[in-house]
Structure 1
Amino acid sequence: MAGLATPMALRVAVTLGLPDRLLSDSVAADQLAAELNVSPIALDLLLRHLTTLGVMQQTSTGYRTTEFGANLCADAGNGLTNMLLHMDSAGGRAELSFVELAHSIATGQAAYPRRYGKDFYDDIAEHPRLRESFDRQMTLRLRMQVPRIVAGFDWSRFSTVVDVGGGVGTLLAAILTAHPGMHGHLVDLEATAADARHTFSAHNLDERTEVTAGSFFDPLPAGADAYLLSDILHNWDDEHAHRILARCVEAARPTGRVLVIETVGGLGAKSEFDLSMLVLYGGRERRIDEFRTLAATHGLVLDTVTTLTHERSLLEFQLAGQ
Structure 2
Amino acid sequence: MNTPPDRPEPAPGLAEIADVVTPFAVRAAATLRLADHIAAGHTRLPDLAEAAGAEPRALCRLLRFLTCRNVFAEPEPGSYALTDLAEELRSDHPANLRQWLDADEVAGRLDATFPHLVAAVRSGTSVYAEVHGAPFWEDVGASAARTASFDRLMAQVAQSTRGIGTAYDWSDVRHVVDVGGGTGALLREVVEAHPHLRGTVADQAGSVAEARRYLAAHGLDDRADAATCDMFTALPPGGDAYLLSRVLADWDDEQAVRILRTCVAALPDHGRVLVAERVLPDPPAPDAPDGEDLSEIRRLTSHDLRMLVLLGGRKRTAADYAHLAARTGLRLRTSHRLPGGATVMEFRRAPLNQRADAATPEPPRHTPSAQ
Give the TM-score taking structure 1 as reference length: 0.91
Counterparts of 1:276 and 1:314, CA distance in 2: 22
Write the deviation string for residues 113-158 of structure 1: whole angstroms up to 9, x where unpaired. Answer: 22212221111101222212222222212237512x2222101220
Does 2:315 match 1:282? no
Counterparts of 1:145 and 1:229, CA distance in 2: 11
Equivalent residue, structure 2, for 1:294: 324
Write the deviation string for residues 174-203 of structure 1: whole angstroms up to 9, x where unpaired. Answer: 111110110000022233333322332333
The residue type equivalent to 1:170 in the other structure is A
Q: Report the Cα offset of residue 106 of structure 1.
A: 0.5
Equivalent pair of 1:224/1:252 in contact (CA under 8 Å): yes
Aligned partner of 2:99 among 77, 82, 105 = 82
Residue 214 to residue 22, structure 1, CA distance change in 2 (3 Å) = farther
Does 2:129 match 1:120? no
The 5-angstrom pairing of residues 5-24 of structure 1 reads 5-24=21-40
Residue 76 to residue 193, structure 1, CA distance change in 2 (3 Å) = farther
Counterparts of 2:96 and 2:52, CA distance in 1: 24
Q: Report the Cα offset of residue 258 of structure 1.
A: 0.7
Equivalent residue, structure 2, for 1:170: 185
The residue type equivalent to 2:119 in the other structure is H
Equivalent residue, structure 2, for 1:231: 246
Write the deviation string for residues 218-244 of structure 1: whole angstroms up to 9, x where unpaired. Answer: 411012110000010011112221221
Equivalent residue, structure 2, for 1:316: 346
Equivalent pair of 2:162/2:340 in contact (CA under 8 Å): no
Equivalent pair of 2:44/2:79 in contact (CA under 8 Å): yes
Q: Report the Cα offset of residue 39 of structure 1.
A: 3.2
The 5-angstrom pairing of residues 45-56 of structure 1 reads 45-56=61-72
Equivalent residue, structure 2, for 1:255: 270
Residue 5 to residue 309, structure 1, CA distance change in 2 (3 Å) = same
Counterparts of 2:193 and 2:115, CA distance in 1: 44
Q: Report the Cα offset of residue 60 of structure 1.
A: 5.0
Q: Report the Cα offset of residue 319 of structure 1.
A: 1.8
State the secondary structure of the residue aligned to 2:232.
coil
- Count the aligned residue pairs: 320
Equivalent pair of 2:215/2:221 in contact (CA under 8 Å): yes
Residue 271 to residue 35, structure 1, CA distance change in 2 (3 Å) = closer
Equivalent pair of 1:25/1:64 in contact (CA under 8 Å): no
Q: Structure 1: which 5+ runs fail to align?
A: none
Does 2:172 match 1:157? yes
Once the two structures are overlaid, the 10-residue window that deviates more, 53-62 or 156-165, is 53-62
State the secondary structure of the residue aligned to 1:207.
coil
Residue 205 to residue 224, structure 1, CA distance change in 2 (3 Å) = same
Counterparts of 1:140 and 1:180, CA distance in 2: 26
Counterparts of 2:77 and 2:132, CA distance in 1: 43
Equivalent residue, structure 2, for 1:306: 336
Computed over aligned residues only, the root mean square deviation of the Cα atoms, in angstroms, reads 2.2
Equivalent residue, structure 2, for 1:41: 57
Equivalent pair of 1:307/1:314 in contact (CA under 8 Å): yes
User: Rg bigger for which structure?
Assistant: 2
Residue 144 to residue 244, structure 1, CA distance change in 2 (3 Å) = closer
Counterparts of 2:33 and 2:343, CA distance in 1: 37
Kindly indicate which of the two structures has a greater share of residues assigned to helix. Answer: 1
Once the two structures are overlaid, the 10-residue window that deviates more, 15-24 or 91-100, is 91-100
State the secondary structure of the residue aligned to 2:113.
helix
